[in-house]
Amino acid sequence: MNQVADQWLDYECIDAGNGEKLERWKDIILRRPDPQVIWPVDTEDSLWKNPHAHYHRSKSGGGHWEYKKKFKESWTISFKELRFKVSPTGFKHTGLFPEQAANWDFMMKKIKDSKRDDIRVLNLFAYTGGATMACAAAGASEVVHVDASKGMVSWAKENMVLSHLEDKKIRFIVDDVLKFVQREKRRGRTYHAIIMDPPSYGRGPNGEVWKLEEQLYPLISACMEILDEDPLFFLVNSYTTGFPPTVLHNLLNSTVLKKHPNGYLETGEIGLPITKSHTILPCGIYGRWVKK
């Protein structure tokens, strides 16, 4: 089952080809590299040639933005009732992954439809808080937002204010995710929904090394110790190139579904519609355990 984030008004993938994508973020046009875009561009029109900014990847790693038109350092875009700060960063990112709106819609619907008053959500590798804000806005009684980057957690707090969610119970934690999960087990804390969006490689706040292929299974297994006896959903998202959805299916089958057979699994690709070609831009994979 594939998911496409096709409910945006403030974001649009206009075109993609030759290793790059052309995007509209509200009224700002950005041209950024994308390693999965291996097909050609039909024609490079004026938007391709004159975006507001163009990120050039360096052969030695990293890269830089070429600014062609003046615009604010940061601006705000909306997805339904949510609002987020967008700003080009030194690593080509903008502080938001728009394809994740497909997951936000899923989370919000599950929380709203559950009719439960007490839903505790844990968001691991939470970045700038797209999923955090979605769950809080949908009515979760508590959302715990964990990320190793102090800067990203600060950005998430800004998104909370932009989305007018200051009155919601959101806990922001700067920590290594596995260490946090292990501490929550010792505290006897449980969650009705757990979300994780792990990188291929990363480091915790104290230099802890994260390698997806080595540590994803131990992390999911540790999460089983703090997943409530009556869970709502468990979601894993991955951008790792060459990591097929079947891997997530097998991981969730041997962990979450094994412990909670009253649910079912969904796995597949997640993507964005490309306006010009009417095709889909692949943006990683997802796996979900969902209560029946």
What's the pLDDT score for residue 213? 82
Q: Total domain count for the chain?
A: 2
CA distance 108 to 119: 12
What CATH number corresponds to the domain at position 159? 3.40.50.150
What's the pLDDT score for residue 210? 73
Q: Which residue segment(s) compose the domain that 128 sits in?
A: 98-291
Q: What is the 3-state secondary structure (H, E, C) of 57-103?
A: ECCCCCEEEEECCCCCCCEEEEECCEEEEECCCCCCCCCCCHHHHHH
Q: Is residue 140 part of a domain?
A: yes
Residues 79 and 112 in one domain: no
CA distance 123 to 131: 7
Domain boundary among 56, 86, 116: 86
What's the pLDDT score for residue 30? 98
Q: Is residue 92 part of a domain?
A: no
What's the pLDDT score for residue 242? 79
Full pLDDT tens readout for the chain, 292 residues: 799 999 999 999 999 999 999 999 999 999 999 999 999 998 889 999 999 999 999 887 789 999 999 999 999 999 999 999 999 998 899 999 999 999 999 999 999 999 999 999 999 999 999 999 999 999 999 999 999 999 999 999 999 999 999 999 999 999 999 999 999 999 999 999 999 999 888 887 878 777 888 899 999 999 999 999 999 999 999 998 778 999 999 999 999 999 999 999 999 999 999 999 999 999 999 999 999 9
Helices 212-223 and 245-254 sit at what angle, rounded to 10 degrees? Answer: 30
Sign, CA torsion 117/121/127/131? negative
Q: What's the Rg (C-alpha) of the chain?
A: 19
What CATH number corresponds to the domain at position 31? 2.60.40.1180
Q: Which residues contact 95 (CB under 8 A, 6 or more apart)?
A: 84, 85, 86, 87, 89, 128, 155
Residues 262 and 213 in one domain: yes
Residues 43 and 106 in one domain: no
Prediction pTM value: 0.95
Residues 102 and 50 in one domain: no
SS3 category, 112: helix
Q: In the chain, helix, strand, coil percent, each to 5?
A: 25, 35, 40
Residues 113 and 198 in one domain: yes
CA distance 273 to 6: 6
Residues 77 and 102 in one domain: no
Helix (H) or strand (E) holding 167: none
* Contact in structure between 82 and 163 (CB atoms under 8 Å): yes
What's the pLDDT score for residue 202? 80
